[in-house]
Structure 1
Amino acid sequence: MGGKRKKSESQKLIEGGKDNDKNKEGSNKKKREILPSMIKNKEKRSSVHAKLKHEKKLEKRKKLKARDAAEKLALELGEEPPPRMVPRTIENTREPDETVCRPDDDELFAGNDADEFSSVLKHDRTPKILITTCRFNSTRGPAFISELLTVIPNAHYFKRGTYDLKKIVEYANNKDFTSIIVVHTNRRDPDALLVIGLPDGPTAHFKLSKLVLRKEIKNHGNPTGHLPELVLNNFTTRLGHRVGRLIQSLFPQDPEFRGRRVVTFHNQRDFIFFRHHRYIFETKESKESDSKGKKAKEDSKSKKAKDAKGEKITKEKVIARLQECGPRFTLKLISLQHGTFDTKGGEFEWVHKPEMDTSRRRFFL
């Protein structure tokens, strides 16, 4: 009995020593895991940060290689490859919205035939745009307007002077203009756009930010006088559909594809990004990697093989290349008003309020 007691006590001592060793190892690991923000020396902090970043990059590469190998093995065995994980983003986790348009919404398409933009979009009227400024213009305002005149076909600039906006609306209606664009400036830069549909509205007020003019874009292109193609992305809700049709009414609906001009309004998280490009098609030699199996190896051998004259056989493929023409800016809808511009008696369809920004996953366009 005594021997067993001593043995059990010795076992307890050994196990206690092991536990102490484990605790020491755990404490040592905690000591080793020092965050870069805890290091006071700037050079050492930056080197530790670079090392951790490099290690994360290597781990990510290993995971990608393992995933590609598993997919390749599944394809060789005739099985379905494992499903890829879809990353969680703000867009795919957005809050559900009842106003999202659906392709089978008959009421929406019936309303399109009777709204304010139907006459322009059905080719009954050709778009004719009047562009003006606020009463106090800035240095970058005229440069931005001159580039807008090259982007929007059949657009005309008129100096604001001391005229009220209501009188300008009356004048534009008498001269058969279809829309008015007012460029508002603050200090040096344009900071807002007011788009008024004629003759019955609506009036959209956009905040303008991140303006980059054509001369500020590296390797920019010069647009031609052809009618551009118009691309509208992600205007999914009822409000977004209405704003998209307002933007669409500014451009003619018969693009000239020879000019290779593309004007894009891309909506993402209720920010409308404007881009203006020219595209070109080029023929380039195709270069296939050897990691695609036996077919890729045979193709590479055939490329290296020479014909009777001793010339190398190469394959060609057509590649599309984009060249930005400018300008580049971002819009955010502030309000949408019924009818033409009226600050006192106008009714608003939608107004952005600070209370709407409580959730980052809630979008209105």
Structure 2
Amino acid sequence: MGNKRKDDADEGAKEGSKKRKVAPSMIKNKVKRSIVYAKLKHEKKVEKRKKAKAREVAEKRALELGEEPPARKIPRTIENTREFDETVCKPDDDELFVGIDADEFSPLFKREYTSKILITTSRFHSTRGPAFIAELLSVIPNAHFYKRGTYELKKIVEYARNKDFTSIIVVHTNRREPDALVIIGLPDGPTAHFKLSRLVLRKDIKKHGNPTTHYPELVLNNFTTRLGHRIGRMIASLFPQDPNFVGRRVVTFHNQRDFIFFRHHRYIFETKEIKESSSKTKTEKDEKSSSKSKTVKDKKSSQENVIVRLQECGPRFTLKLISLQHGTFDTKGGEYEWVHKPEMDTSRRRFFL
């Protein structure tokens, strides 16, 4: 009896082990692991298709019955599950609007003067640095390039202030590649230091367009916090506030997870002819000749349809804020508004802009 119970227990354990699903990462054999992983992936795909089909049927049935379709689930992303931040701007924030009227950029946005930008380099610039600066000059209106030479940045700030420049952009390079941007607001600051990465010049963009001299439209996305709002106003101060919509140029700074993506496009209107064929049948009114009918030949009618498409002009790059300093550039006695430190990156869902 004891041996029989033992055999039954062993058989039950074997059946349980067969039914129990083993994670692919626990399988040591590479071939078996890849087979199990491919099978699981296929099952998930089939299940996903079934759910999508069931959702489509439910929506179609709700429309036929005149009912509201079932609410779609919102996917969980890092953006919509970000940590709560008290500095996020709200539409009814009176303190924010009072601060806007008193900041360093208010005279420019009130159009008391127009933007005038000085672009220079670090003391040791690379081969791709001048090419990047040439494309910046085509993006930013009223921008002028001056060679750095052996001048200190403080002397350049004094010179630019005397010549009525409103901002200075310094392109820093390292190992023959532009790797940082320093933007200095004049005459009283602030100074922002950005890390520059993923630079793609215009010549490397497939089917790129050539920009015109029109003032571009400026699009700023997702600058939601107080710090982000300040950075957005600083970026906007580089461009004139009266865009020429005839030129169809758009400059976009899109903030996502504290990375600012820069894109430069122009939109193009195209007219395409769509041919439609319509067939009509005419029947006689008399009941006697109801069997006889006359068909009218198909008539081709052409209709014009306007299509809008985007053409990228370049360049393409990504910025990440490193520090924001009060006043103009001063590394020794300058007071910083915000500095990024490694210990601040405690969570992937914590953003500052």
Into which bin does the TM-score normalised by the smaller protein fall? Answer: 0.7 to 0.9
| Alignment counterpart, residue 269 of structure 1, candidates 257, 268, 275 | 257
TM-score (norm 2): 0.87
| Alignment counterpart, residue 231 of structure 1, candidates 196, 219, 233 | 219
Report if aligned partners of 2:129, 2:178 keep a CA contact under 8 Å in 1. Answer: yes
Q: Distance in 2 between matches of 1:249 and 1:312?
A: 54
Name whichever of 75-84 and 49-58 sits farther off: 49-58
| Alignment counterpart, residue 78 of structure 2, candidates 65, 90, 94 | 90
Report if aligned partners of 2:263, 2:315 keep a CA contact under 8 Å in 1. Answer: yes
Question: Cα deviations across residues 71-111 of structure 1 (Å, max 9, x unaligned)?
Answer: 11112222222211111111111111111111111121122
Q: Distance in 2 between matches of 1:66 and 1:118?
A: 55
TM-score (norm 1): 0.84
Name whichever of 316-325 and 241-250 sits farther off: 316-325
- Structure 2 residues without counterparts, runs of 5 or longer: 281-295
Report if aligned partners of 2:277, 2:299 keep a CA contact under 8 Å in 1. Answer: no
Residues 1:259 and 2:247 aligned together: yes
Look up the equivalent residue of 1:35 and give its one-letter code.
Answer: P
Residues 1:176 and 2:149 aligned together: no
Task: For residue 45 of structure 1, report the CA deviation from its aligned partner.
Answer: 6.2
Task: For residue 198 of structure 1, report the CA deviation from its aligned partner.
Answer: 0.3
Q: SS of the residue aligned with 2:102?
A: coil
Name whichever of 345-354 and 55-64 sits farther off: 55-64
- Which residue in 2 is equivalent to 1:242? 230
Question: Cα deviations across residues 143-172 of structure 1 (Å, max 9, x unaligned)?
Answer: 100000000001000000000000000000
Task: For residue 358 of structure 1, report the CA deviation from its aligned partner.
Answer: 0.9
Residues 1:35 and 2:24 aligned together: yes
| Alignment counterpart, residue 205 of structure 2, candidates 217, 220, 225 | 217
Residues 1:191 and 2:174 aligned together: no
Name whichever of 310-319 and 101-110 sits farther off: 310-319
Task: For residue 304 of structure 1, report the CA deviation from its aligned partner.
Answer: 5.6
- Which residue in 2 is equivalent to 1:26? 16
Look up the equivalent residue of 2:48 and give its one-letter code.
Answer: K
Residues 1:167 and 2:158 aligned together: no
Write the mapping of 1:59-98 to structure 2, written as runs, cut at 5 A: 59-98=47-86
Question: Cα deviations across residues 249-308 of structure 1 (Å, max 9, x unaligned)?
Answer: 000111111111110000011110000011112345789xxxxxxxxxxxxxxx663365
| Alignment counterpart, residue 310 of structure 1, candidates 298, 315, 318 | 298
Question: Cα deviations across residues 35-90 of structure 1 (Å, max 9, x unaligned)?
Answer: 28846556x76666555444433322221111111111112222222211111111
- Which residue in 2 is equivalent to 1:297? none
Residues 1:280 and 2:268 aligned together: yes
Name the CA shift for 1:46/1:325 in 2 (closer, same or farther; >3 Å): farther
Q: Distance in 1 between matches of 2:270 and 2:15?
A: 61
Report if aligned partners of 1:237, 1:364 keep a CA contact under 8 Å in 2. Answer: yes
Question: Cα deviations across residues 162-190 of structure 1 (Å, max 9, x unaligned)?
Answer: 00000000000111000000000001110
Aligned residues: 335
Q: SS of the residue aligned with 2:233?
A: helix
Q: Distance in 2 between matches of 1:242 and 1:67?
A: 44
Q: Distance in 2 between matches of 1:235 and 1:135?
A: 32
- Structure 1 residues without counterparts, runs of 5 or longer: 1-8, 288-302
Name whichever of 218-227 and 153-162 sits farther off: 218-227
Share of identical aligned residues, percent? Answer: 76
- Which residue in 2 is equivalent to 1:328? 316
Write the mapping of 1:125-140 to structure 2, written as runs, cut at 5 A: 125-140=113-128
Higher helix share: 1
Look up the equivalent residue of 2:19 and give its one-letter code.
Answer: K
| Alignment counterpart, residue 109 of structure 1, candidates 97, 101, 109 | 97
Report if aligned partners of 1:306, 1:312 keep a CA contact under 8 Å in 2. Answer: no
Q: Distance in 2 between matches of 1:55 and 1:317?
A: 43
Higher strand share: 2
Name the CA shift for 1:70/1:317 in 2 (closer, same or farther; >3 Å): farther
Q: SS of the residue aligned with 1:311?
A: strand
Question: Cα deviations across residues 300-331 of structure 1 (Å, max 9, x unaligned)?
Answer: xxx66336562345766433211111111100
Report if aligned partners of 1:36, 1:48 keep a CA contact under 8 Å in 2. Answer: no
Q: SS of the residue aligned with 2:299?
A: coil
Q: SS of the residue aligned with 1:173?
A: helix
Report if aligned partners of 2:217, 2:244 keep a CA contact under 8 Å in 1. Answer: yes
Name the CA shift for 1:50/1:20 in 2 (closer, same or farther; >3 Å): closer
Report if aligned partners of 2:277, 2:298 keep a CA contact under 8 Å in 1. Answer: no
Q: Distance in 2 between matches of 1:286 and 1:94?
A: 47
Report if aligned partners of 1:306, 1:313 keep a CA contact under 8 Å in 2. Answer: no
Q: Distance in 2 between matches of 1:231 and 1:185?
A: 27
Q: SS of the residue aligned with 1:69?
A: helix
